[in-house]
């Protein structure tokens, strides 16, 4: 808890919006969450394991400290680890998602990240924020409303000898003030969770510097002029509000004022990328439970199976 505010307060890179971030974060942290004492205890014990150098050893964000298998429970208490994977000393945190596969799909834009002020919206525990920083971003502001993922980030971050230039705040995009602060904004896996997709895109437009870049990754459906608005659940998720075809997303982006819209990847999610591991817990489901048992091209509700596209624009 203290850690979350301390990191924001100590970061000079976010000076123009620091006051806003602190105020909004204090409001979030004042709300009751019965899990906080447990997460605080894990964070405190993890902080004792000592620091190490961080690097990317495909597929892991790898910290070469001296953590041994004896300490695995402290990390398991912060389950579910959806995003990763991380290697901490001798412990491999094999998260549900192998994020390295998505990272490789971004290869064509790596050179655009260097020295940029980056915003990572819906960062989860910061796997991509760590990579953006390791690949040369000047500073990354990661925002993630789900508190557990903030604790996971702080647990990993506390083990890095010279912490990277990343600030994480437990906020939603809507809570940021409208200042044109960012050279590069990432919204990956977030748009389909928004009831109002156009206001998500307009808010991003408002935060982007005039020549800045925007990378959008979201669920899509094949065809032209298609838009699925799931009635109830999609792949067992309650909070999926829109799955458009590629041309519809391009229209949404153009309508919001984005230019030079380029489709850089289309990919159907496979079990090699999203699967059950020890790190999400025994009772938790993953992709194989979300798809039709007899036809992996369909979700269990009969919709097309998850396929994602990436767009770069400015
Ligand atoms: C599917 S995960 C994607 C995580 C990561 N960006 C990735 O690509 O793997 C979506 C995340 O966005 C967060 N989220 C949803 N709505 C958001 C909003 N309005 N502002 C910021 N984060 C949001 C959720 O809490 C969740 O952790």
Q: What is the pLDDT of residue 179?
A: 82
Q: What is the pLDDT of residue 17?
A: 77
Adjacent-strand bridge partners of 188: 217
Return the domain boundaries, the chain: 2-313
- CB-based contact 185:211 (threshold 8 Å): no
Q: What is the pLDDT of residue 196?
A: 97
Q: What is the pLDDT of residue 18?
A: 79
Does the pLDDT of residue 13 top 80, yes or no?
A: no
Among 174, 173, 124, 118, which Cα is nearest to 150's? 124
Q: What is the pLDDT of residue 208?
A: 96
% the chain with pLDDT above 70: 98
Quick check: CB of 193 below 6 Å from ligand 1? yes
User: Distance from the CA of 190 to the center of ligand 1, in angstroms?
Assistant: 5
- CB-based contact 128:199 (threshold 8 Å): no
Quick check: CB of 122 below 6 Å from ligand 1? yes
Quick check: CB of 172 below 6 Å from ligand 1? yes
Does the pLDDT of residue 33 top 90, yes or no?
A: no
Q: What is the pLDDT of residue 128?
A: 98
Q: Which residue has the least CA distance to atom 8 on ligand 1?
A: 188
Does the pLDDT of residue 2 top 70, yes or no?
A: no
- The string of pLDDT tens digits covering residues 155-206 is 999 999 998 999 999 999 999 988 878 999 999 999 999 999 999 999 999 9
Secondary structure of 178-247 in HEC code, one letter for each residue = CCCCEEEEEEECCHHHCCCHHHHHHHHHHHEEEEEEEEEEEECCCCCCCEECCCCCECCECCCCCEECHH
Adjacent-strand bridge partners of 311: 216, 263
Cis peptide before 59 (omega within 30 of 0): yes
CA gyration radius, the chain: 19
Confidence of residue 298 (pLDDT cuts 50, 70, 90): very high
- CB-based contact 196:168 (threshold 8 Å): no
Q: Which residue has the least CA distance to atom 22 on ligand 1?
A: 122
Q: What is the mean pLDDT of residues 218-227?
A: 97
Quick check: CB of 298 below 6 Å from ligand 1? no
Mean pLDDT of the chain, nearest integer: 93
Q: What is the pLDDT of residue 129?
A: 98
Quick check: CB of 188 below 6 Å from ligand 1? yes
Confidence of residue 26 (pLDDT cuts 50, 70, 90): confident
Name the class of domain 2-313.
alpha beta
- The string of pLDDT tens digits covering residues 142-154 is 999 999 999 999 9
- The string of pLDDT tens digits covering residues 248-296 is 999 999 999 999 999 999 999 999 999 999 999 877 888 988 999 999 9
**3-class DSSP state of 204:** helix
Please choose from 21, 190, 192 the residue to mutate so as to test ligand 1's pocket, defined by most ligand atoms within 8 A of CB.
190
Q: Between residues 140 and 10, which one has the greater pLDDT?
A: 140
Q: What is the pLDDT of residue 303?
A: 96
């Amino acid at each position: 808890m203290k850690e979350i505010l301390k990191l924001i307060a100590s970061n000079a890179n976010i000076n123009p919006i620091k006051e806003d971030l602190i105020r909004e974060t204090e409001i979030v942290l004042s709300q009751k969450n019965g899990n906080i004492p447990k997460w605080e205890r894990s964070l405190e014990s993890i902080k004792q394991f000592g620091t190490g150098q961080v690097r990317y050893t495909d597929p892991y964000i790898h910290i070469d400290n001296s953590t041994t298998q004896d300490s695995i429970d402290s990390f398991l208490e912060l389950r579910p680890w959806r995003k990763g994977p991380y290697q901490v000393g001798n412990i491999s945190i094999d998260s549900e998602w192998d994020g390295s596969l998505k990272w490789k799909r971004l290869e064509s834009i790596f050179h655009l990240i260097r020295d940029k002020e980056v915003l990572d919206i819906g960062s989860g525990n910061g796997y991509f924020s760590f990579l953006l920083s390791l690949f040369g971003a000047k500073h990354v502001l990661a925002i993630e409303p789900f508190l557990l993922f903030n604790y996971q980030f702080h647990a990993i971050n506390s083990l890095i000898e010279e912490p990277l230039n990343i600030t994480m705040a437990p906020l939603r995009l809507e809570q940021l003030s409208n200042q044109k602060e960012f050279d590069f904004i990432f919204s990956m896996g977030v748009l389909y969770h928004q009831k109002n997709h156009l206001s998500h895109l307009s808010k991003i437009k408002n935060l982007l510097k005039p020549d800045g870049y925007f990378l959008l990754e979201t669920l899509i459906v094949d065809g032209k002029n298609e838009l699925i608005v799931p009635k109830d659940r999609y792949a067992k998720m309650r909070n999926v509000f829109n799955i458009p075809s590629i041309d519809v997303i391009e229209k949404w982006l153009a309508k919001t004022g984005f230019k030079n819209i380029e489709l850089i990847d289309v990919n159907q999610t496979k079990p090699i990328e999203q699967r059950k591991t020890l790190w999400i817990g025994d009772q938790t489901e993953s992709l194989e439970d979300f798809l039709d048992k007899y036809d992996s091209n369909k979700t269990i509700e009969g919709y097309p199976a998850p396929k994602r596209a990436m767009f770069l624009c400015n």
